[in-house]
Structure formats: C-alpha cells, structure tokens
Amino acid sequence: MSKKKPNQKRKINKYTVKSLQQASLRMLGDFTTYKVQETGKWIVFVDPKDTSQTCSKCHQKSLIKQELNDRIFICAFCKNELDRDINAAHNILYKAQTELGTLSSGRI
C-alpha cells in the first residue's frame, strides 16, 4: 500500500527539468524561425555568451564578473553606464551585425 497523499506533488529530477527547458527553448526557436520565414525574411541566432559582461561601447569584457542583482553595467575601461539588459541587447545586435557583415554607422 502506498503512503503517498492523494494530492501530493511529485518532485521532478533536475536533469528532467533542464531537458524540458531546453526542449521548450528549441521549440520556441523553431517556431520563431518558421514565422519569420513565412514573411520572407531571415533570422540569425547569436550566442549570448558574455553579452552582459562586455561593454557595448568599447567592446571590452569586464574584469570583474557582475552578479545578476547588479542591474547597471559600468565599464571599467570607458566608464560607460547602461542598464545591464540594454547593454546585453546592444551586444547581441552587434554580434549579429558582425556575423552578417552589416554593421551600422555606429548607431545602435
């Protein structure tokens, strides 16, 4: 006889959770690609590695790893101050433009 309570939630293995998250992200990427291609345009996936640790102005990687609760990015090299997420978004755009060879005239 089981000693489980009727409405008790089941614990899920951390590897199962990670696998589900990765599958969900993959599905989102596939769906986004499909929808963009429907419009006749194309999509570029950029590796987000170090985008929140790199200055979007001088492109130098921060010497000190910033924590998630640090919401403002301050560059030690050029003193650029920017919201961490905005800084990362600029870096992702820069990476995509670099990959495609379509860098804008300095305006991001």
pTM above 0.75, yes or no: no
pLDDT at 20 over 60: yes
| Residues 60 and 100 occupy one common structural domain | yes
pLDDT of residue 5: 63
Q: 79-90 burial by CB neighbour count: b if 16+ within 10 A, else e? A: eeebebeebbbb
pLDDT of residue 103: 67
Residue range(s) defining the domain that contains residue 92: 44-108
| Residues 38 and 55 occupy one common structural domain | no
Distance between CA 71 and CA 50 in Å, rounded? Answer: 15
| Residues 19 and 57 occupy one common structural domain | no
42-96 tens-digit pLDDT: 888 899 899 999 999 999 999 888 888 889 999 999 999 999 999 999 999 999 9
